[in-house]
Amino acid sequence: MDTERIYDIFLSSEGICTDSRKLFAGCLFFALKGENFDGNAYAAEALEKGAVAAVVTEGALSGPGMIEVPDTLAALKALARYHRDHVGGSKRLPVLGLTGTNGKTTTKELVRTALGAGLKVSATEGNLNNEIGVPLSVLAIKPGTDVAVIEMGASHPDDLKPLLAVADPDFGIITNVGKAHLEGFGSFEGVKRAKGLLYDHIAAKGGTVLLNGDDPVLGEMAASRGLQPVLYGVKTQGCRVLAPSPEHPYLRIEKDGREIDTHLVGSYNAPNVLAALAAASFFGVPEEDAVKAIEAYIPSNNRSEMARTERNTLIEDFYNANPSSMAAALENFASVEAPLKSVLLGDMRELGPDSVQEHKAVIERLEGMSLDRVFLVGEEFGKALRGLQEPPSWRWFESSDALAEFLGRNPLEGQVLLVKGSRGIRMEKVLPSL
């Protein structure tokens, strides 16, 4: 595979395209293959629409503008790694790798925002954190960048290995380690080993990790690898999270005698904010500038957003759900001061044999909260409820569509509502009824 040749073409292009629906003139098209798609079928179309070249599977097709390689995904990864090693010019570009069970994308956006107050930053767009997204994120780094922040996701034991090989981070953050994707990881210990691959990589390079000092699991993981971390954390830094209310619903943190007012919802976001400030300090951005940038940051990714309708106040957190994030969301919601509070919760997916027990744990937590109404959605919550005596104020629904229909006939009013569930449950369908 002639990576240098492809790199020369890449440098003269307008960027990488892997999606035939998003072709643009001047792109370098990679014909990726998957179980349900084959990009080779669109290579000719890409050239017709102005692509400078198309990287295709060897033997699939040939002709002017076609670059044949044995494996197009491997070629994309090799190109990204080559770019990572050369985009900094004579200096090695610092790359901060970020992973974790919960809060990856929010923390990445906060780190990008805080660092951007004083540096030229490149960061993963959205949640392009998989085997295709990470190479694309690396290839999006422009010359003159001061630091890159690359988010990396994992749902199976070795998922991080190819991502680390491409991004080759010198610095790292694991937001937390919790129960998610247990079908893929097998156990909580499996999650720790998988996420810990980032620490392994940083330790082998003699790099630095930024670590939530309030998290004993992360502390043990770092210590076992001989890492000397830069610490942050609510307790570690002597901070105080101020109680939310309908008048002041967003996260407020008292740090070093000053109040940091964010547009984030949930006390569980406090460590994410402090991680961003720690990263800013580590890379030399004045804290005053970083704080102002974070205070101005408004999330727009369905992760812990606050919305007000004509009838209710909503905490919308329906991008994903797992036992760790659900517990954090409910703990935060319990601290919200409001006369009427209700929850609308959808199933947590990909928990394997632990699913029923984890949903029962959520139900037990709900039983201990002071709530006006409880609405549960999905097959897993249905299984967990079997044999239990539901209070009159509780209702279970097979789908979010069924709940939306019910709420259309029985509207809620004057409530603060938490709406959360795994992406596949589509809890956003109930929003028009609220």
d(CA 56, CA 42): 10
- pLDDT (tens, 9 = 90+) of the chain, 434 residues, equals 689 999 999 999 999 999 888 899 999 999 998 888 899 999 999 999 999 999 999 988 888 999 999 999 999 999 999 999 999 999 999 999 999 988 888 999 999 999 999 999 999 998 789 999 999 999 999 999 999 999 998 777 788 999 999 999 999 999 988 765 555 565 777 778 888 999 999 999 999 999 999 999 999 999 999 999 999 999 999 999 998 776 777 899 999 999 999 988 888 899 999 999 999 999 999 999 999 999 999 887 556 677 888 899 888 877 677 888 888 888 888 888 888 999 999 998 878 888 898 899 999 999 989 999 999 999 999 999 988 877 889 999 999 999 999 999 999 999 999 999 888 889 989 999 99
Other C-beta atoms lying within 10 Å of the C-beta of residue 196: 20
**CATH classification of 87-296 is 3.40.50.150, yes or no?**
no
How far is Cα of residue 431 from the mean position of the Cα atoms in its chain?
22
How far is CA 53 from its chain centroid? 32
- Report how far apart, in Å, the C-alpha atoms of 373 and of each of 120, 370, 413, 427, 429 are: 47, 9, 12, 16, 18
User: Which fold would CATH assign to domain 305-433?
Assistant: Protein-Tyrosine Phosphatase; Chain A (3.90.190)
> What is residue 387's predicted lDDT score, i.e. its pLDDT?
81
Q: Give the CATH fold of the 3-75 domain.
A: 3.40.1390
Q: pLDDT at position 317, please?
A: 79
Among 404, 419, 407, which Cα is nearest to 305's? 419
C-alpha distances (whole Å) from 191 to each of 173, 254, 424 are 15, 32, 22
Radius of gyration over alpha carbons of the chain, in Å? 23
CA 273 to chain centre: 14
Contacting residues for 127 by C-beta, under 8 A, at least 6 apart: 104, 105, 133, 151, 153, 301
Q: What is the reported pLDDT for 183? A: 58
Contact status, residue 123 vs residue 110, Cβ threshold 8 Å: no
Query: What is the Cα–Cα distance from 283 to 294, expressed in whole angstroms?
Result: 16
**Nearest 5°: phi and psi at 182?**
-65, -25
Confidence (pLDDT) at 259? 95
How far out from the chain centre does Cα 107 lie? 8
- Tell me the per-residue pLDDT of 387-428, one tens digit each, with 9 for 90 and over: 887 788 999 999 999 999 999 999 999 999 999 988 888 998
Q: In the β-sheet with 305-308, what is the strand arrangement from edge to edge?
A: 305-308, 313-317, 416-420, 341-346, 373-377, 394-397
- Number of Cβ within 10 Å of residue 366's Cβ equals 17
3-state helix, strand, coil in the chain (%, to 5): 40, 20, 40
Q: How far apart are the first and last CA of the chain?
A: 55
Residue of 299, 320, 281, 277 lying closest to 422 (CA atoms): 320
pLDDT at 182: 54
Bridge partners for 158 per DSSP: none
Residues of the chain with CATH 3.90.190.20: 305-433
Q: With contact defined as beta carbons under 8 Å apart, do 12 and 52 qualify?
A: yes
Cβ–Cβ under 8 Å, residues 150 and 134: yes
pLDDT the model gives residue 382: 92
Token reading at 391: 């209070």
**What span, in angstroms and rounded, lies between the C-alpha atoms of 265 and 166?**
33
Instruction: For the chain, give the number of residues.
Output: 434
Distance CA 216, CA 333 (A): 24
User: Residue 180: its pLDDT value, please?
Assistant: 54
| Residues carrying CATH 3.40.1390.10, the chain | 3-75
Domain with CATH 3.40.1190.10 in the chain: 87-296
Tokens of 304: 């812990």
Kindly tell me the sign of the dihedral angle through the C-alpha atoms of 329, 335, 337, 339: positive
**Distance from C-alpha of 123 to C-alpha of 397, rounded to nearest angstrom:** 39
C-alpha–C-alpha distance, residues 252 and 259, integer Å: 7
pLDDT at 35: 81
